[in-house]
Amino acid sequence: MAVPDLPDLPDLPDLPDLPDLRISGSGSPDLPAMILILELTDSKEAELKAKARAQGLSVEQYAEKVLYRDLEERTNAATDADDRPIWEIIVDQMKDVPLEDFAALPRDGASQVNHYIYGLPKRDASGLR
């Protein structure tokens, strides 16, 4: 397989000596690996190195593991949608609300929603103000 030609990159300004994080992509062979430059304080850099070392990983491997775990959690959260009808979800959410709380709700809450939420004048029984 031939290596694709990469576009010319602009000259980057001189940066202070910062640890760089190279994550080689396992995706499309047409794309170059991603290079992240992390500007860390000395204490954060030491913490990152210590966490990586504690797991027997390089800093790059540890950072890649953390990034993938975060991306996986977000993907799982998006696909863990509840397939029940909305009324069943509402009933389930409301099951622990004490009856006294329901009794304290205004009886005309639905018909006078604009009054209770937005403070508009109450409508009369005919629906007119």
What is the percent of the chain with per-residue pLDDT over 90, rounded to a whole number? Answer: 34
Indicate whether 51 pLDDT > 80.
Answer: yes
In the predicted model, what is the mean pLDDT of residues 93-120? 92
Indicate whether 50 pLDDT > 70.
Answer: yes
pLDDT tens per residue across span 56-85? 999 888 988 888 888 887 766 666 677 889
Inter-CA distances, 82 with 4, 39, 72, 78, 117, Å: 44, 40, 18, 10, 28
Indicate whether 9 pLDDT > 80.
Answer: no
